[in-house]
Structure 1
């Protein structure tokens, strides 16, 4: 490979260091870097002041929005530095050589590209601030590729490498494609796909903040917007590398055959997801029961729906199951849910007196609805006492039912203790033929029956 560009670069540096022009270039680089840093710092201070003033109003700025803003501001420092260095190079090139500036500008551009790549990747794949080891590895690979490409560009080795890759031809059917064309196509598709996913993420965040739209409609628009952006990015990338889009008809036929034979479930779940979102039978935040799954709807994706149970376990339910089977929705048109607690009291209890006390005990729990007051009923005459039921309504089933049931039971128990109401428990007698009858728990010995033998 020809090493003349690298030798020319070294020669230019040696010539610059022998002349006073190098001092002006160093001063220009330091001044541009300092000025860009000061400008970005002032912008960060201004945004922090805006955030503090907004925190005192009715529309505070979220921590996630501030984090994304500061992450994006980090890109501006090398961008401003590269722009200032470009203007400085244009001015100084009229009076002296600017070889050092010719290297400083690509270096600042590479730094800006690396930071912009980090911002986009984390915006797409680490939306909640959680950076996985895979994400760190991807960022390291991206950094190495960018700096390696910039080094080859500065040293002048890039044209030689491109010519070398153009000379390697790979046969693809009747055609022959160079390795350079394959790499160009892969890079184009990857870059446009990442940009499309970044735009889809920004669209999703903007739609989710529009409180005037129904939550299901926002999700539908977000999913459709993401699909359209990804599809357009793929078509544009294929057109840029010179691939005829009519060849996609072959893939369309193959996809139809695959859909007919083995992808029915996937297609059914995909279509069911849009049906659920469009008919608004389920929305995020609803508490539903489907089959053996119960919980709060936290996500409605195109293929599955995520339910968060009261025990913290997340259940992934295929969307087809929500369409073809029965679903209990506790908050479809009305979030009011009726719950009940049962208790047994002795036969000597005054029912007319105890009913208002039990209803007042249930009503004392904060989550119990006051618009629909609790009611006590006599369910049955049990073997050990009178079985009573205290029914009550709650308006927030998404917060769980176990806690409110426990609080109601505790209030009922305190009321029964305060008014000396006996709560019977099962009592049984054990009789052995040929032996005296033995009573349990201090109960009086019953009279002997005709079949009992007294000893």
Structure 2
């Protein structure tokens, strides 16, 4: 145990048997109470008056507001009491509050950068455990001995001498720089996604490129900070290039196809599309695949390469209106014009059918069993499907036809027996 920690522990043990400890406990209780009150007041004020653009910074402030305000009050009490007594407990409390603030800030940043998930919660627990472990090693005085032990574990990487402490420091530096880069990219991504003057596809492309660029810069800065020559990465770059050329062709093709789709604006989030046998709404466009939300509630993951090499029907590329056709057949002895008027009137009354273009009824052909008609109507919400629309209109047409005496015919076949064939059959019978 180092001398500073040893003196702190001795003072703490000495203070526990005297009234000095009560003053320090009083300062800590007052600090926590005032911090709790300040935290509540500032939180309400910030939520009511702060602009929406400050959301990220406000979230971080709310996370560390309680430990930092407590820390400031503890420091003030420490300055006031140290003139005539020991303040060992206040020093220990200040150290614990600093660790608490660091953990809260890191946890908030993790939740801001990454989507919620089990691995994020596990990472939060690991980070909190590491921080408290380092603090415990520091307070017990074992941290310097542990660092010296790690430094004594020497080995060579090529012609460079290294030790375990340098490796851990390098990994920690890279993680910190990457962490900062991801946080910064998320902050800029939120700003870009709110820029209404930029096309949605362009916003997605820019955010993805920004994240890749900042992550690459963070790794290079981290490697340089630990003294590694980044020109050595050219060897790894060549190996990665060969791997992409041979073993990762499909993955590379999907990523490139994804950027092409985003750049040429042939498909956007919310479009109604038919891809091979799948019909639905584009829910998300990722770098490697597209998420298609089908009308039955399922989701289809379609690789971006399929969108480039296969035929895709975009029902809402230039106009969200979609035509719905309803074929109907009536008998030859029914009132044709009346049937067509009924079909049009029923389509006009349906709430999903738009009036421009207006519904129309056409004669398709004179069929074997009756007259073939077709009802055309247009809707602006094809993502809601057309089966329920067709069912409702067909039901109303059926009721109106029955009330008006219009017949929907059965398939009919007329069989004629020629006279000679009938006579031969008669002679055979006798």
- Normalization by structure 2: what TM-score? 0.89
Q: CA deviation at 1:427?
A: 5.6
More helix by share: 2
**Residue 343 of structure 1 contacts residue 389 of structure 1 at CA under 8 Å; is this kept in 2?**
yes
Structure 2 distance, partners of 1:185, 1:409, is 71
Report the Cα offset of residue 318 of structure 1.
1.8
| Mapped contact 2:329–2:373 kept (Cα < 8 A) | yes
- Aligned counterparts of 2:395 and 2:30: Cα–Cα separation in 1: 73
1:236-293 deviation line (CA, Å, top 9, x unaligned): 2112222111111111111121122122222222222222212211111111122233
Q: Counterparts of 2:22 and 2:57 in 1: how far apart (Å)?
A: 39
Match of 2:207 among 210, 222, 243: 222
- Please tell me whether residue 150 in structure 1 is matched to residue 135 in structure 2: yes
Tell me if the contact between 1:289 and 1:329 (Cα under 8 Å) persists in the aligned partners: yes
Tell me the secondary structure at the aligned position of residue 221 of structure 1.
helix
TM-superposed CA distance for 1:428, in Å, is 6.8
Tell me the residue number matched to 1:102: 91
CA shift in 2, pair 1:83/1:230, >3 Å: farther
CA distance in structure 2 between the partners assigned to 1:270 and 1:197 by the alignment: 20
Verify the 8 A CA contact 1:44 1:70 in the aligned structure 2: no
3-state SS in 1 of match to 2:168: helix
**Equivalent in 382, 397, 404 of residue 382 of structure 2:** 397
Contact residue 334 and residue 405 of structure 2 kept, 8 A:
no
Whole-Å separation in 1 of the counterparts to 2:390 and 2:58: 45
Flag structure 1 segments of 5+ consecutive residues without an equivalent: 55-60, 430-445
Give the structure 2 partner of residue 385 of structure 1: 370
Distance in 2 between residues matched to 1:306 and 1:397, nearest whole Å: 18
**2:78 maps to what in 1?**
89
Indicate conservation of the 8 Å contact 2:147/2:165, yes or no.
yes
TM-score normalised to the size of structure 1? Answer: 0.85
Deviations 1:355-376 (A, max 9, x none): 1210111111111111101111
The answer as to 2:111 corresponding to 1:111 is: no
Query: Counterpart of 2:350?
Result: 365
Q: Measure, in 1, the Cα distance between the counterparts of 2:334 and 2:85.
A: 107
Work out the CA distance in 2 between the residues paired with 1:8 and 1:47. Answer: 42
Distance in 2 (alpha carbons) for counterparts of 1:260 and 1:165: 41
**SS of residue matched to 1:315:** strand
User: Residue 146 of structure 1: CA displacement?
Assistant: 1.4
Aligned to 2:125: 140
Correspondence for 1:27: 26
Task: Name the counterpart of 1:17.
Answer: 16
Which runs of 5 or more residues in structure 2 are unaligned? Answer: none
User: Compared with structure 1, are the counterparts of its residues 132 and 267 closer, same or farther at alpha carbon in structure 2 (3 Å cutoff)?
Assistant: closer
1:343 positional shift: 1.5
Shift in CA distance, 249/206, structure 1 to aligned 2, threshold 3 Å: same
Q: Structure 1 residues 90, 238: closer, same or farther in 2, change over 3 A?
A: farther
Residue equivalent to 1:198: 183
Once the two structures are superposed, what CA deviation does each residue of 1:162-194 show, in whole Å capped at 9, x if it has no partner?
A: 111111124333333211112222222223323
- The alignment covers a number of residue pairs equal to 424
Q: Using the alignment, how far apart are the partners of 1:251 and 1:349 within structure 2?
A: 80
**Aligned twin of 1:425:** 410
Alignment of 1:234-383 (within 5 A): 234-383=219-368
Once the 2 structures are TM-superposed, how far is the Cα of residue 67 of structure 1 from its aligned partner? 11
